[in-house]
Structure 1
Amino acid sequence: MKNYLATLGILLIIAAVGWQFKNKFFSTPCAEPTPYNLGTFDTKFNISKKYFLDAITEAEAIWEKPSGLDLFVYQPEDSSRDVLKINLVYDYRQQATSKLKSLGIEVSNTRASYDSLKEQFEKLRESYEVEKAQFEEKIAKWNRGPRNNRSEFEELQSMQDDLNEKADEINAMVVALNRLVATLNLSVEKYNTVNTARGESFEEGVFYSDGTRRSIDIYEFSSREKLLRVLAHEFGHALDLPHVADSKAIMYELNQGNTLKPTQADLAALRAKCAE
């Protein structure tokens, strides 16, 4: 009898824990606001934490205002495992975007933008190959000589610096071109970088959940509007919303819209999720 009661007690504890787990991770996101706070914050984006947090608040309101629901709540001191962490992560994606922006090149998810960037890339790549051949020829000549001419050495150093700068520009274009190839579903070969190798996929942001931990990672944005849209999109995934077919929607699979208001398709997806 004692063994039976002990076993029953253990089963009741397991059931209670399971019920709490179910309520915590599988309840409708509309029942109570999702707590979030700031995780990783990379300063190489050259924005302040206040700027980023203000953008997060604005993105949160994109869903809350039209729905009239309190969907998210900022809790900076919350250290629980299930709190939604929002991370700003600087890598090759933002580096490429920043480089193109410094060159006055704005990229949009259109075939016209792809064709224009491809033309600029091909011209720059051709120029790079010519200058690289000239540099290698001069290096070979330098190595055959006494290698003690200061002016020749400085000329070679200057040529190498120019080539490295061109390589950075080419590689930034490659990242953008490969993203456009995937986004526009173009039947072309993948573009290759120079002096480096990359095989990463291109995503501006991603929502991640393993059932106990959740995070939003932001990798790239070219403007505040793009930052707000990618944050709002990933907030949508945090609400368990799927992608929708409306190309102007926040939850469309591509960040190509120019509005910061949810479309009817967005709101319909939210209503459906809240009704579950």
Structure 2
Amino acid sequence: MSSECSEPITWRIGTIDSRFNIKETELKNIMRNIENLWSDAVEKNLLQYSDSGEVAINLIYSEEQKFTDNEQKLSEQINEMRKKYYSMRVDYQQESVRFREKLNQYNTTFTEYANKVNEYNLRLSRLTNNGIVSRDDDENLKNLKKEMEFLEKKLDPLEEELTAEEQNLNRLSEELNDYADEVNEYVFQYRNRYSQSRTFFQGFYTNVGNQKKVNIYQFENLDKLKLVLAHEFGHVLGLSHNENPVSIMNYNMRLQNEERLKLSDQDIQSIQNKCGLSQTSR
């Protein structure tokens, strides 16, 4: 095995900007995963933590990270607004159902009332034309009038309830439309600000005056941080970029499965070559 891999390269935690909201223990856990990732490829410890490690990891809050944080905040705000909008829409739909039920009830009662009025007027006209009103006719007419009056009394509160439901439905409709406009305005702002592609230099490995640093400037979440650290520590180990789009050492890193990070065949071949170990000799 090459002397380059005879001893592990030690690393330490330098500075962590508090705006990243990440603890040293979290960063150490991530680095333990990265140590295993590279070391397993050669079955030898390549990276190791030390309080006085030769490579300092610095999380430096940059304009790129500010841009990312603002994007995430606006995205989260839009998601919360959409949840509220969907809840408001459910309320509106439920109110629409109640209004239709009240309207159907009112229309049914009104139709029944109108039929009674027509029947009463027809009977009264017929009896008036005949000029003779029997006791039964008079009693039937009085009963019909009572039914009319009963239905008429039912109509008044139904009409008041229907009016209140309609007003409430109109209010909810206006609120829903206004809020939809507000959500759309935020979505427009988001697309206007963040839909344009930007190239972020998420991290760099530097070795100037034998001062070795891995500076991280931007990441969206801990999985993204693990990916960029794995890439930069590939450089620490002496590896260059490769053209495989799924490689950790690809300059773009867009096709990596961040949640299940693993080395590509090219990554493994590169680190084995660096350490003087070929796959066939293992």
TM-score range, shorter-chain basis?
Answer: 0.5 to 0.7
Is the 8 Å Cα contact of residues 10 and 47 (structure 2) preserved in structure 1? Answer: yes
Per-residue displacement from partner, 1:228-261 (whole Å, max 9, x unpaired)?
A: 1100000100011010111000100012111410
Is the 8 Å Cα contact of residues 96 and 172 (structure 1) preserved in structure 2? Answer: no
Q: Distance in 2 between matches of 1:270 and 1:203?
A: 24
Q: Given the alignment of the two structures, is residue 74 of structure 1 paired with residue 49 of structure 2, yes or no?
A: yes
1:52 Cα shift? Answer: 1.6
Secondary structure of the structure 1 residue equivalent to 2:4: coil
Per-residue displacement from partner, 1:41-90 (whole Å, max 9, x unpaired)?
A: 111011212112211221222111233110011111x17xxx11111111
Is the 8 Å Cα contact of residues 75 and 190 (structure 2) preserved in structure 1? Answer: no
Q: Distance in 2 between matches of 1:173 and 1:209?
A: 34
Secondary structure of the structure 2 residue equivalent to 1:104: helix
Q: Given the alignment of the two structures, is residue 96 of structure 1 paired with residue 67 of structure 2, yes or no?
A: yes
The count of aligned residue pairs is 163
Q: Distance in 1 between matches of 2:220 and 2:251?
A: 18
Which of the pair is proportionally richer in helix?
Answer: 2
Secondary structure of the structure 2 residue equivalent to 1:40: strand
2:227 corresponds, among 226, 229, 241, to: 229
1:211 Cα shift? Answer: 5.2
The structure whose Rg is larger is 2
Q: Distance in 2 between matches of 1:223 and 1:52?
A: 12
Is the 8 Å Cα contact of residues 244 and 253 (structure 1) preserved in structure 2? Answer: yes
- Amino acid of the residue matched to residue 30 of structure 2? A
Quickly say closer, same or farther: Cα 1:75–1:39, change in 2 above 3 A: same
Identical positions, percent = 30
Q: Distance in 1 between matches of 2:18 and 2:57?
A: 15
Per-residue displacement from partner, 1:202-225 (whole Å, max 9, x unpaired)?
A: 311110012511110111111222
Is the 8 Å Cα contact of residues 29 and 274 (structure 1) preserved in structure 2? Answer: yes
1:178 corresponds, among 188, 198, 203, to: 198
Quickly say closer, same or farther: Cα 1:85–1:172, change in 2 above 3 A: farther
List alignment gaps of at least 5 residues for structure 1: 1-26, 106-164, 180-201
What TM-score results when the alignment is normalised by the length of structure 1? 0.54
Is the 8 Å Cα contact of residues 35 and 45 (structure 2) preserved in structure 1? Answer: no
1:100 Cα shift? Answer: 1.1
- Runs of 4+ aligned structure 1 residues displaced above 4 Å come to 168-172
1:28 Cα shift? Answer: 4.5
1:172 Cα shift? Answer: 6.0
Q: Distance in 2 between matches of 1:255 and 1:37?
A: 25
Quickly say closer, same or farther: Cα 1:275–1:100, change in 2 above 3 A: same
- Amino acid of the residue matched to residue 75 of structure 1? S
Look up the match of 1:39.
Answer: 14
How do 1:234-249 and structure 2 match up within 5 A? 234-249=232-247
List alignment gaps of at least 5 residues for structure 2: 77-185, 278-282
Look up the match of 2:33.
Answer: 58
Q: Distance in 1 between matches of 2:16 and 2:4?
A: 26
Quickly say closer, same or farther: Cα 1:172–1:87, change in 2 above 3 A: farther
Is the 8 Å Cα contact of residues 41 and 272 (structure 2) preserved in structure 1? Answer: no
Quickly say closer, same or farther: Cα 1:211–1:241, change in 2 above 3 A: farther
2:56 corresponds, among 76, 81, 85, to: 85
Is the 8 Å Cα contact of residues 55 and 213 (structure 2) preserved in structure 1? Answer: yes
Per-residue displacement from partner, 1:71-118 (whole Å, max 9, x unpaired)?
A: 011111x17xxx11111111111111111112228xxxxxxxxxxxxx
Secondary structure of the structure 1 residue equivalent to 2:75: coil
Is the 8 Å Cα contact of residues 86 and 216 (structure 1) preserved in structure 2? Answer: yes
Q: Given the alignment of the two structures, is residue 207 of structure 1 paired with residue 227 of structure 2, yes or no?
A: no
Quickly say closer, same or farther: Cα 1:238–1:28, change in 2 above 3 A: farther
Q: Distance in 1 between matches of 2:15 and 2:41?
A: 30
Q: Distance in 1 between matches of 2:192 and 2:19?
A: 19
Per-residue displacement from partner, 1:5-45 (whole Å, max 9, x unpaired)?
A: xxxxxxxxxxxxxxxxxxxxxx8431110011011111101
Is the 8 Å Cα contact of residues 93 and 220 (structure 1) preserved in structure 2? Answer: yes
Quickly say closer, same or farther: Cα 1:52–1:171, change in 2 above 3 A: farther
